[in-house]
Amino acid sequence: MSRILLVEDHDRLAQLMCKGLMAAGIAVDVVDRIDTAWAAVQQMSYQALVLDRGLPDGDGLILLQKVRNADLGVPCLVLTARDALHDRVEGLDAGADDYLPKPFAMDEMVARVRALLRRPVTFHSLDSCRGDLMLRPEAGALCCDDECVTLAPSELHIMQLLLDKHEEVVRRSALEAAAWGLSEAVTPNALDVALHRIRRKLLAIGSCQRIVNVKGLGYVLREDDASE
């Protein structure tokens, strides 16, 4: 299932949009501020961003510019009550892929999001490589030299974050958000189970990388360290 980030501060509208998108098979994380959205984008690899311009902490285009300056290729649909030509041009110049004025029909919004999801996007994660490990998201595989294992989607997102933050401790909450999203309820031990499976797979392919529990802080990917 594709997962997108919806940045919208109107609760009722956000609920209606979520309902329409989820009915189309699209999972949605919802936030209502630029700073919260930026933190979410840094934690997860979303397939699309649906962004309102009028947010409590500023113009949504501020977030879009941060995303583009970080070389993140996630496609973006901008929603706004500002439908003048110069507003649309401003949004597109800021890096929007599409622009939908309010009010809009839910069917059209869903159709535009689905169109964005069909676009080929090159993510920075496609060439994630640290030490003896290579993560291949398109194949859903983790490789060490010529040995590869298949990763479930949640495992892939966990490894992606650990590889990106190599030698840095990643909080448990960040790993859970990366694996299952911000709004999806997960069981308390879901992360422990996923980490156990990944550790076994690291051993199976002969990697010297280990996922280490740093008590009270989180987890880190290190070479030649023992796991828990």
pLDDT tens for each residue of 38-56: 999 988 878 899 999 999 9
pTM of the entire predicted model: 0.61
Cα–Cα distance between 75 and 25 in angstroms, integer?
Answer: 18
Both tokens of 159, joined, read 């490894």
Contacts 24+ apart (CB under 8 A), 88-93: 90/61, 91/53, 91/61, 91/64
Both tokens of 78, joined, read 């901008």
Backbone angles phi, psi at 97, to 5 degrees: -90, -25
Is residue 143 within 8 A of residue 133, CB to CB? The reply is yes
Residue type for 135, please? L
Predicted local distance difference test score (pLDDT) of residue 170: 93
Predicted local distance difference test score (pLDDT) of residue 205: 95
CA atoms within 13 A on the CB side of 9: 16
Burial of 70 (0-12, 13-18, 19+ CB in 10 A): exposed
Low-confidence spans in the chain with pLDDT less than 50: 121-125, 225-228
Predicted local distance difference test score (pLDDT) of residue 124: 45
Both tokens of 210, joined, read 């280990």
- Domain range annotation of the chain: 2-117, 126-223
Q: What topology does CATH give the domain 2-117?
A: Rossmann fold (3.40.50)
Helix axis angle for 190-204 and 153-164, nearest 10°, is 80
**Positive/negative CA dihedral, 37, 15, 155, 48:** negative
Torsion of CA 66, 169, 211, 162, to 10 degrees: 0
What would you report as the CA-atom Rg of the chain, rounded to the nearest whole angstrom? 19
Residue position matching structure tokens 């997962």:
3
Average pLDDT, the chain: 86
Q: What topology does CATH give the domain 126-223?
A: Arc Repressor Mutant, subunit A (1.10.10)
The helix or strand, by DSSP H or E, that contains position 162, with its residue range, turns out to be helix 153-164
Is residue 26 within 8 A of residue 117, CB to CB? The reply is yes
